[in-house]
Amino acid sequence: MSHIIDNHRSAKFARLAAPFLLPLLLLLLCPPAVQAAAPGITGTTFNLNAADSTISQPDGMNVYSWGYGCSTAPSGFSPAGMPGAACPSMQVPGPTLIVHQGDRVTLVLTNNLPAAAGNTSILFPGFNVCTAVMNPDGSCPATPTGVPGLLTREAAHGGSVTYSFIASTAGTHSYYSGTQSDLQIEMGLYGAIIVLPTAVPAGCRAVAATLPDGQPDYRNAAAAYNHSASCYDREYLFQFAEMDPRIHSQAQQQAGVACAQSTGCMVVETEPYHPAYFLINGRSMPDDMDPNYAVQYPHQPYNGNPHMHPGELVLLRVIGNGRWQHPFHEHGNHVRILARDGNLLLSQTDPTKPAGPLLFTTTTTPGLAMDGIFYWTGRGLNWDVYGHTAGALYTDQAFPAYLGKPVVCIPDANGYYTADPLAPNYYEWCQDHDKPLEAHAFGAVGSGGPVTLPDANILTDGFWYGGSPYLGPDATARAVGPASSIPPNNTQANPSKSEAGFAFMWHSHNEREITTSNIFPGGMMMMMLVDPQAFLINEAN
């Protein structure tokens, strides 16, 4: 990364973070390959089971948990081409179900939890659910499946229950256990449903092999809803939850008890509640920055590591699947909320316009799903983030088609350079073009600017570090001059065509929630990587 940009001014957070900043930076400088997107399983019929296993945490603990998983192979995975895609018999969170608006969805749940856990079930908030395969006319059969439960029909130990519903509402939705929810959701029985809209709204681009800038297209749909305000270029799903290992330990100790009661035979104290693990998609930082379907997390397939190019509209699908609210802050920009629980937030006077709030933190409420748009362009920084100089020509080999051509920034109606999606400075804020960062406009960082390169004896180059406060082809030369190179040892780890952009820390604003077992850093934390245009963001490698 060129640097970590943090425009948050919380003195309290700064006091907490300061003693740990160097270890955190060192950790971030040696990451594995990153992947994200919003992966899941596709189809209209899903065969899931509830089962037990363990999930791992960064402190080395394997925590006994319950989760939904596939009892038979799904009909497919989305997005296509993601290596290692799998649906194990148990995972946390459960498989993300990707369906289309209007689909008739059928899900068969088999209870393979320990007998002592008793019955289990699934709730699908926001949908009218039959507890059997619905009739062709959409009505529910007179004879339901499963056994009676407090909130829905349940699957007894070793038995099954069938749910069916029409995916009537597009957007992001949650599903979770409706049986002994204080225990079963805590243990990991929750997941997400993504309902894709039926059409491509006006102004949105249909899903294709590539985006306009030539990058691979890993969207599940052209828009989040049947509305032009919901177009997007990339999408990521984040499910927030927490775990109290004391509860999990009690359940594990009693898992082998013989039991014939539908309510189970476990006596587990779920209060007082003292979670030690704070999860994004079932993982804590830094595990959430490892790839999707990484082999080291067989029961935690989904990661939390978004990345983008400047100007791209990033759809954030956010679900609160735990017991607590989590004030999650996305550095770099606010998030414009499009919808809650599949309900678009539109202006009452002009329904063609969105009216969702612009949020500093996307506070996740238990059971609530949100869709929002995030983007970053460098506007507002008041300097040229690409490090351009007046009259400069492109010299970077990462863009052979532009070699020797002048660097231009012709603003569109909104002030951005969008004439050429393949240009190295696509979506540059033209008002800041050629505007220097340095105190001495003629010089580079080494000639007296406020940005200082790190001491090579303290901080070394890593996979995300480009040694420059700039983004793109001119980043290296503009930062250190043509006769020098990035330290240490006169080597440069990341030329401008690699993943050496800007890294924004995204994290919970509850300080305890960015720890793992009370050790910082950990918990609900990730990095948003704004990559140079030359870097190929390939979610499938």
Q: What is the DSSP string of 352-391?
A: TSB---EESEEEEPBT-EEEEEE----TTS-S-TT---TT
Q: By the 8 A CB rule, do 3 and 449 touch?
A: no
3-state secondary structure of 215: coil
pLDDT for the residue 272: 95
More confident: 382 or 52: 52
Q: By the 8 A CB rule, do 292 and 96 touch?
A: no
pLDDT digits (tens, 9 = 90+) for 137-181: 999 999 999 999 999 999 999 999 999 999 999 999 999 999 999
pLDDT for the residue 237: 97
- Identify which of 59, 13, 6, 10 has the alpha carbon closest to the alpha carbon of residue 512: 13
- Identify which of 164, 170, 169 has the alpha carbon closest to the alpha carbon of residue 139: 164
Provide the percentage of residues in the chain whose pLDDT is more than 70: 82
pLDDT for the residue 236: 96
Q: By the 8 A CB rule, do 56 and 294 touch?
A: no
Distance of CA 524 to the CA centre of its chain: 11
pLDDT for the residue 450: 59
Provide the percentage of residues in the chain whose pLDDT is more than 90: 64
3-state secondary structure of 57: coil
Of 113-127, 350-364, 440-454, minimum mean pLDDT range: 440-454
Phi, psi angle pair for 393, to nearest 5°? -115, 150
Full-model pTM: 0.89
3-state secondary structure of 289: helix
More confident: 381 or 392: 381
Mean pLDDT (the chain) is 85
Q: How confident is the model at residue 455 (pLDDT cuts 50, 70, 90)?
A: low
CA 28, CA 36: separation in Å to the nearest integer? 17
Q: Which two tokens stand for residue 97?
A: 């179900």
Q: Which two tokens stand for residue 430?
A: 């033209």
- Identify which of 389, 394, 210 has the alpha carbon closest to the alpha carbon of residue 309: 210
Residue 291: cis peptide before it, omega within 30 degrees of 0: no
Residue 492 predicted with pLDDT over 90: no
pLDDT for the residue 436: 78
**Cα separation values, 469 from 1, 273, 433, 489, 526, Å:** 9, 44, 15, 20, 21
Q: What DSSP designation does 514 have?
A: G
Q: How confident is the model at residue 382 (pLDDT cuts 50, 70, 90)?
A: confident
pLDDT for the residue 486: 43
Residue 201 predicted with pLDDT over 50: yes
pLDDT for the residue 217: 87
pLDDT for the residue 371: 97
CB atoms within 10 A of CB 9: 7
CA 527, CA 457: separation in Å to the nearest integer? 25
**Cα separation values, 427 from 80, 81, 419, 530, Å:** 28, 28, 9, 13
Q: What is the mean pLDDT of residues 385-389?
A: 83
Of 233-242, 331-340, 392-401, minimum mean pLDDT range: 392-401
Residue 413 predicted with pLDDT over 60: yes
Q: By the 8 A CB rule, do 533 and 475 touch?
A: no
Residue 3 predicted with pLDDT over 50: no
pLDDT for the residue 15: 30
Cα torsion angle, 419, 421, 422, 424, sign: positive
Residue type, 163: Y
pLDDT digits (tens, 9 = 90+) for 87-99: 999 999 999 999 9
pLDDT for the residue 463: 58
pLDDT for the residue 448: 62
Beta bridge partners, 56, equal 62
Q: What is the 3-state secondary structure (H, E, C) of 59-89?
A: CCCEEEEEEEEECCCCCEEECCCCCCCCCCC
CA 230, CA 213: separation in Å to the nearest integer? 20
Residue 122 predicted with pLDDT over 70: yes
Q: Which two tokens stand for residue 365?
A: 């409420």
Q: By the 8 A CB rule, do 177 and 121 touch?
A: yes
pLDDT for the residue 248: 98
Residue 300 predicted with pLDDT over 90: yes
pLDDT digits (tens, 9 = 90+) for 460-478: 445 566 666 778 766 666 6
* CB-facing half-sphere around the CA of 80: CA atoms within 13 A: 7
